[in-house]
Amino acid sequence: MFKLRSLPVSVCLSFSLLCFAPSALAQLPINDAAAALLQEGDTLLSQRKAGEALRSYEAAAKADPTSSVPLSKLANAIYFLSILQTDAEKKSQWRAQSEALAQQALKLAPRDPIAQEVLRMLSEEKPAPLHEPTAQAANLKHEGEQLFVAGRLDQAREKYLQAAQADPLYSTAWIYAGDCYFAQKKWAEAEQLFRKGVTIEPLNSQGWRFLSDALGAQGKRAAAEEALLNGIAAQPSQMPNWGKLAHLRAAAGTPLKPLGLVRKSSVTLDPATGKPTVKLDSTFSGGPGEQKTADAGAWLMLGMREASIRAKNRADNVTGSPFAIELASWEGAMKAASEIEAKGGEALTDPGLIAMQTLAKADQLEAGLLILLYKESYRPEFEAWKKEHPNGIRKFVDTWGLQP
241 within some domain: yes
Q: Are 75 and 101 in contact (CB under 8 A)?
A: yes
Indicate whether 319 and 251 sit together in one domain: no
Q: List for the chain the helix, strand, coil content (%; round to 5).
A: 70, 5, 25
271 within some domain: yes
Give tens-digit pLDDT for 244-274: 999 999 999 999 999 988 889 999 888 888 8
DSSP state of 220: -
Question: Which among 349, 348, 389 has a CA at the least distance from the CA of 370?
Answer: 389
Indicate whether 167 and 82 sit together in one domain: no
Task: Provide the pLDDT for residue 220.
Answer: 97
41 within some domain: yes
Q: Which of 226, 255, 284 is the last residue of a domain?
A: 255
Indicate whether 269 and 389 sit together in one domain: yes
Where does 260-355 show beta strands of DSSP type E? 265-269, 276-280
Task: Provide the pLDDT for residue 126.
Answer: 66
Domain extent for 55: 4-123
Q: Which residues contact 274 (CB under 8 A, 6 or more apart)?
A: 311, 314, 315
Element (H, E) at 3: none
350 within some domain: yes
Q: Which of 255, 278, 298 is the last residue of a domain?
A: 255
Indicate whether 225 and 163 sit together in one domain: yes
Cα 140 from chain centroid (whole Å): 29
Indicate whether 269 and 366 sit together in one domain: yes
Task: Provide the pLDDT for residue 125.
Answer: 57
Q: Which residue positions in the chain have pLDDT lower than 70? A: 1-27, 124-126, 285-292
349 within some domain: yes
Task: Provide the pLDDT for residue 187.
Answer: 96
Q: Which of 209, 229, 255 is the last residue of a domain?
A: 255
Indicate whether 72 and 194 sit together in one domain: no
Task: Provide the pLDDT for residue 23.
Answer: 40
Handedness of CA 42, 45, 50, 51 (dihedral sign): negative
Task: Provide the pLDDT for residue 354.
Answer: 97
CA atoms within 13 A on the CB side of 141: 24
130 within some domain: no
CA distance 396 to 164: 36
The CATH number that applies at residue 33 is 1.25.40.10
Q: What is the count of structural domains for the chain?
A: 3
Task: Provide the pLDDT for residue 238.
Answer: 85
Indicate whether 118 and 141 sit together in one domain: no
Indicate whether 319 and 397 sit together in one domain: yes
Task: Provide the pLDDT for residue 159.
Answer: 97
128 within some domain: no
Indicate whether 310 and 392 sit together in one domain: yes
Q: Are 192 and 210 in contact (CB under 8 A)?
A: no
Measured in degrees and rounded to the nearest 5, phi and psi for residue 342 equal: -65, -25
Q: Are 39 and 8 in contact (CB under 8 A)?
A: no
pTM value is 0.76
Mean pLDDT of the chain: 87
Task: Provide the pLDDT for residue 270.
Answer: 86
Where does 167-303 show beta strands of DSSP type E? 257-258, 265-269, 276-280
260 within some domain: no
Helix (H, G, I), strand (E, B) or coil at 304: helix
Task: Provide the pLDDT for residue 27.
Answer: 63
Task: Provide the pLDDT for residue 15.
Answer: 42
Q: Which residues contact 222 (CB under 8 A, 6 or more apart)?
A: none
Q: Are 239 and 404 in contact (CB under 8 A)?
A: yes
